[in-house]
Amino acid sequence: MNRPATASTAGTPSTAAGPLAGLRVLDAASLYAAPLLASLLADQGADVVKLEPPGGDAYRATAFWPLVARGKRSVVLDPADAGGRAALRGLVAAADVVVVNEPAARLAARGLDPATMLAVNPRLVVAHVSGYGADGPAAGRPGNGTMGEAFAGLTHMTGDADGPPMLPSVPLGDAVMAYAGAFGVAAACHDVRVNGGPGRVVDVNPVEAMLHVVGPTLVTAAAGVGAGAAPPGRLGGGLAGSALRDVYACADGGWLAVSVSTPRQLRDLAAIVGAPAGTVGGELGAAVRAWAGGLDRAEAVDRLAAARLPGAPVNTAHDVVTDPHLRHRGALRTLRTPEGATVTVPAPSPRAAHEPATGDPATSATPLAGVLPTVGQHTGEVLRAWAASAHEPAAHEPAAQEPAASAK
Q: What is the pLDDT of residues 220-272, one digit of tens each?
A: 899 888 777 888 888 888 887 678 999 999 999 999 999 999 999 999 999 99
Strands 255-260 vs 244-249: parallel, antiparallel or unpaired:
antiparallel
Task: State the distance between the two ends of the chain, measured CA to CA, in whole angstroms.
Answer: 29
Task: Supply the mean pLDDT for the chain.
Answer: 88
Q: How far apart are CA 339 and CA 328, in angstroms?
A: 28
In whole angstroms, give the CA distance from residue 229 to residue 29.
42
Q: Which fold has domain 24-211+352-405?
A: Rossmann fold (3.40.50)
- Sign of the CA dihedral with 34 first, then 39, 44, and 47 last: positive
Greater pLDDT, 407 or 202: 202
**Sequence-ordered list of residues with C-beta below 8 angstroms from that of 204, at least 6 positions apart, any chain:** 34, 37, 127, 128, 129, 130, 177, 180, 181, 184
pLDDT of residue 226: 74
Q: Answer yes or no: pTM beyond 0.85.
A: yes
Give per-residue burial for 341-360: e unless 16+ CB within 10 Å, then b: eeeebbbbeebeeebeeebe
- The yes-or-no verdict on residue 377 having pLDDT over 80 is yes
- How many whole angstroms separate alpha carbon 84 and alpha carbon 107? 15
What's the CA gap between 197 and 234, in Å, rounded? 45
What is the edge-to-edge ordering of all strands in the sheet holding 255-260? Answer: 244-249, 255-260, 311-313
Residues 138, 152 contacting (CB under 8 angstroms): no
- pLDDT, average across residues 396-408: 32
Q: Is the pLDDT of residue 5 over 60?
A: no
What distance in Å separates the CA atoms of residue 352 and residue 291, rounded to the nearest whole number?
A: 39
The reported pLDDT for the residue numbered 392 is 43
Task: Write down the domain spans for the chain.
Answer: 24-211+352-405, 255-313
User: What pLDDT digit, counting tens, does each position of 74-133 carry?
Assistant: 999 998 899 999 999 999 999 999 999 999 999 999 999 999 999 999 999 999 999 999
Provide the pLDDT for residue 8: 37
CB 308 within 8 A of CB 342: no
Q: How far apart (Å, rounded) are the C-alpha atoms in residues 144 and 173?
A: 8
CA–CA dist 233, 317 (Å, integer) = 29
List Cα–Cα distances, 386 to 47, 75, 195, in angstroms. Answer: 11, 12, 24
**With contact defined as beta carbons under 8 Å apart, do 59 and 32 qualify?**
yes
Q: What is the pLDDT of residues 315-351, one digit of tens each?
A: 999 999 999 999 999 999 999 999 999 999 999 999 8
